């Protein structure tokens, strides 16, 4: 079993959507929570809500596309909350454009934020978990990575999410000897702003933020129509899978 109460948890992309739901539920279950996000104001709002409910949390800015940003974030979190036991590598963004119509920058960004972001964040925190002989990495993949093609016109995103599943499964074998566990969480449709936000998170080196309206913590009608769950409903299910060291958790009702 993986303990949650009293442990230090880090959620990347914790300023909105699924990450926000996970951060609040982790705090509710007694973890100390670091909320990391490329949008620090949103992370601060989540932390304020957790503190109002009596939980312990800190906000920290981080771009998971940049190793230096992850390293600086790790130093701040470890100094304030101690070594991280539970890593939720959740930050991500999607693109629904046909591959041939995507710019090189957008292809690179989708792979960086979804796959390299998880890889780099995981690599940064594993040494402490191995040294402590305690840890769990839960990466947010997608049904688009488990069943590539179930949403058409999603190629680099599907490739990145399938990569996360491969990464987590291999790590499960590599890390068992160290008492460190992994879970791939594969959302099917959670009511968040993701589909509307997309390019708003694009870092400067991939072309900078787009102009679309930002949905933080609240899904648009479009997103709600495609969703099966809310972040608040899904978070206890994900934490239950982590507690029980399950390798996968899905939230698509047709694939349970």
Q: Least Å distance between CB 114 and ligand NAD? A: 6
Q: Which of 15, 55, 156, 163 binds ligand NAD (CB under 6 A)?
A: 15
Please state, as a whole number, how many other Cβ atoms lie within 10 Å of the Cβ of residue 123. Answer: 11
**Active site includes 157?**
yes
28 conformational bin, left if phi > 0, alpha if psi -120 to 50, beta if neither? alpha
Nearest to 128 by CA among 244, 10, 35, 25: 10
d(CA 124, CA 78): 12
Catalytic residue among 157, 185, 201, 229: 157
Q: Does the footprint of ligand NAD cover residue 62 (CB under 6 A)?
A: yes
Q: Does the footprint of ligand NAD cover residue 163 (CB under 6 A)?
A: no
Q: Does the footprint of ligand NAD cover residue 92 (CB under 6 A)?
A: yes
Q: Which stretch binds ligand NAD (CB under 6 A): 16-24, 47-55, 98-106, 126-134?
A: 16-24
Q: Does the footprint of ligand NAD cover residue 234 (CB under 6 A)?
A: no
Residues near ligand NAD (CB under 6 A) are: 12-13, 15-19, 37-39, 42, 62-65, 90-94, 113, 140, 142, 187, 189-190, 192-194, 197, 201, 203
């Amino acid at each position: 079993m993986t303990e949650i109460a009293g442990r230090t948890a880090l959620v990347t992309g914790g300023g909105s959507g699924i990450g926000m739901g996970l951060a609040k539920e982790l705090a509710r279950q007694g973890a100390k929570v670091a909320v990391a996000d490329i949008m620090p104001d949103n992370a601060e709002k989540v932390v304020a809500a957790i503190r109002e409910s009596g939980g312990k949390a800190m906000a920290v800015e981080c771009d998971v596309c940049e190793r230096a940003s992850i390293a600086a974030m790790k130093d701040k979190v470890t100094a304030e909350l101690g070594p991280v036991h539970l890593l939720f590598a959740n930050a991500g963004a999607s693109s629904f454009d046909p591959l041939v119509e995507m710019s090189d920058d957008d292809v690179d960004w989708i792979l960086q934020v979804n796959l390299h972001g998880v890889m780099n964040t995981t690599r940064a925190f594993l040494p402490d978990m191995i040294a402590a002989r305690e840890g769990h990495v839960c990466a947010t993949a997608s049904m688009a990575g488990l069943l590539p093609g179930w949403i058409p016109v999603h190629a680099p995103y599907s490739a990145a999410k399938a990569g996360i599943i491969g990464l987590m499964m291999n790590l499960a074998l590599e890390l068992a000897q160290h008492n460190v566990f992994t879970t791939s969480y594969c959302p099917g449709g959670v009511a968040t702003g993701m589909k509307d936000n997309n390019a708003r998170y694009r870092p400067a080196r991939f072309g900078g933020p787009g102009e679309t309206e930002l949905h933080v913590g609240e899904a648009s009608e479009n997103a709600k129509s495609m969703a099966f769950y809310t972040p608040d409903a899904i978070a206890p299910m994900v934490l239950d899978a982590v507690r029980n060291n399950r390798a996968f958790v899905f939230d698509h009702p047709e694939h349970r």
